[in-house]
Amino acid sequence: MESVLSPAASVQTRPRKKRIQAWKWAPYLFISPFLIIFCVFGIFPLLFSATLSFAQWDPAAGFGAIKWIHFDNYKFVLTDSWFWKSLGNTVYIAIASGLPQHLVAIPFAAFLSTVIRGRNAVLGAYFVPFITSSVAIALIFSSLFSKDFGAINAILMSLHNLPGIGIIFPDHKIDWLLDTSLVKPTVSFVVFWRYVGWNTVLYLAAMQTIPEDLYEAATLDGAGTFRKFWHITLPMIRPMMFFAVSLTLINNLQLFEEPFILLGDNGGIGQAGMTTAMYMYRTAFYFSDFGTACAISWVMFIVIAVLSYGNHKLFALAGGKEE
Amino acid sequence: MAMVNTRKTYARPIAWGIVLVGAVLMLAPFFFTFVLATQPRDRIYQIPPPMWFGSNLLKNIHTLTDMIPYWHNLGMSFYVAVMTTVLALFFCSMAGYAFAMYEFRFKKALFTVVLGSMLLPPFLGLIPTFMLMNFIGWLDQPRALYLPAAAAAFGIFLMRQYISSAVPKELMEAARIDGCGEFRIYWSVVLPLIGPALGTLGLITFISSWNSFLQPLVIMHSPESFTVPVALRSMQSPTNTDWGAVMAGSAIAVLPLLILFALFSRRLIAGLTAGAVKG
């Protein structure tokens, strides 16, 4: 590559300007490793998956065994009660873990933005769950949540025995991971725990870009903490709210690891906590139905895209009203 | 910020109380990981469960390495994470440099492709990636994990942002007049100037590779080639999980991340939010 630009012989003959020109092909070469990998391991699998979602195929039988069945996989998915159940579970967990994340993170970030000493230590404690292995964490929680020997029930029991405030705590051990009505709230809690610090960091970053004099002017006008929060902080962080909510939406709709570890690979008793990602995984690797699994993933892609678009419209609408 | 209210002095202690209780709840699972990792099996099943450290850590690690090839798994995780990081730093800084410093045809279209690829849910590529790896005989091969992960669009974005603000274009021209080739400019002029950005991207890449679960779950099939998260999951049994050993394994898996975080939390948080704040 170097020799192209610095042929000693041509230095004399070329005009000075020519020498500081970049070699024309250099940028393409610099980008090519990314592009090649992206095409081979990114674009190609997607096209392959889109194709396969219209076929029935046992990979062991070779490419000759691909059988085209048009929209049958999609028809199956859209009329499959398991798919709808898994989608219901996914949306339930997405909302039950996602909404509290933001409802807690925004006031928490507002509080932290007024704190000078000790802020980083507190923020660090909340942020650590986000960077640690979700599998290791889910394993820890499945021990903590276990009915008979889990620390959570033990702590709740000892709180129940406290005089006075004890009555607000349950008087019996709770079967967090086997009671079908508790499975989804329990998984949601673990997901909430994992992402609340991340959202706080995002909101805190946005709040630090709000000009100080807005708050000073409001203080002079006699606005209290809550009014300043409502009329200055919230409107100013709206772009970040849109970004953070979009990320939550996209991540939560692909939720796999926490329910997979906490509840087992079938999503717990009665598939009460089986998410769509888990259902897709099972369809492919337990039932060896790769065509249907690909169709599930494309249906989910459309669901994610539609909800993201709805989210975008919602924020645009809210913005229009405020301004 | 100027939201401190001097009238209601009782509000702040209450807020601090809530925040500190929350912080304890955030850290408690890590504490219990290390507690259970040091307890003998029968102690874990006792009521009430142990709330403080025991002395059974080495024995639990023994059980762990008897049950699964844990040191192999740890080595595999390290190998994959280091390879991913090195390749991602190389590829992303090169591409980011091209997008930041050159004018060329299709630049805009290509950058749109890079940004667009960030929007695709990883979930979508899982099955076809497995099939592709199966077809080319890369199942169980670490390269099936680190090569695809090395083309990280987020990394290109981060590098482009940093290089266009940190490296003046005049520097490239000066280097060219001195007879530097294009690759040489990247390697000996630009790379030394972008150390902080490389450090941040390296941390993010290493951590996400270390934590990755779904890809290794479908690609790695023999217990020796499992990465740590997949290996830990394989120890889980519906009836008879040896929690002491599992927690010892989890503690060892989480420890490098806690250390990295303790050392570089500020840089890590700044890097992760860079895209969010600017974009």
> Taking CB atoms and an 8 Å limit, are A193 and B25 in contact across chains?
yes
CA distance A265 to chain B (A): 10
CA distance A321 to chain B (A): 24
pLDDT, tens only, B157-216: 999 999 999 899 888 888 888 888 889 899 999 999 999 999 999 999 999 999 999 999
Q: At how many degrees (to 10) do helices A134-144 and B11-37 cross?
A: 90
What's the pLDDT score for residue A19? 54
- ipTM score here? 0.89
CB nearest A48 (choices: B26, B49, B132): B132
* Residue B114 with chain A: CB contacts under 8 Å: 34
Whether the CB of A49 is below 8 Å from some CB of chain B: the reply is yes
CA distance B236 to chain A (A): 8
Where residue B44 falls among pLDDT bands split at 50, 70, 90?
Answer: confident
Which uninterrupted H or E stretch holds A68? strand A67-68
Which are the contacts of A194, defined by CB distance < 8 A and separation ≥ 6?
A: A129, A130, A134, A137, A258
Please count the other Cβ atoms lying within 10 Å of the Cβ belonging to residue A321: 6
Q: Between B11 and A152, whose confidence is greater?
A: A152
Please count the other Cβ atoms lying within 10 Å of the Cβ belonging to residue B214: 18
Whether the CB of B117 is below 8 Å from some CB of chain A: the reply is yes
What's the pLDDT score for residue A149? 80
Whether the CB of B97 is below 8 Å from some CB of chain A: the reply is yes
- CA atoms of A213 and B261, how far apart (whole Å): 34
**In the structure encoding, which two tokens stand for residue A92, read together?**
């339930």
pLDDT, tens only, A121-131: 899 999 999 99
Whether the CB of A278 is below 8 Å from some CB of chain B: the reply is no
pLDDT higher than 70, residue A12: no
First to last CA, chain A: 55
pLDDT, tens only, B226-259: 999 999 999 887 777 788 899 999 999 999 999 9
pLDDT higher than 90, residue A40: yes
Q: What is the CA radius of gyration of chain A?
A: 27
CB A227 within 8 A of CB A262: no
Q: Tell me the sheet residues that pair with A243.
A: none
- CA atoms of A75 and B247, how far apart (whole Å): 44
> Taking CB atoms and an 8 Å limit, are B250 and A290 in contact across chains?
no
pLDDT higher than 90, residue B118: no
Minimum Cα–Cα distance from A251: chain B residue? B121
Q: Is the peptide bond before B148 cis (omega within 30 degrees of 0)?
A: no
What's the pLDDT score for residue A104? 95
* Residue A94 with chain B: CB contacts under 8 Å: none
Of the listed ranges A153-162, A247-256, B187-196, the one predicted with least confidence? A153-162
pLDDT higher than 60, residue A46: yes
Q: Tell me the sheet residues that pair with A68.
A: A55
Where residue A47 falls among pLDDT bands split at 50, 70, 90?
Answer: very high
Whether the full predicted model's pTM is greater than 0.95, yes or no, is no
Whether the CB of B91 is below 8 Å from some CB of chain A: the reply is yes
CA distance B31 to chain A (A): 10
Whether the CB of A17 is below 8 Å from some CB of chain B: the reply is no
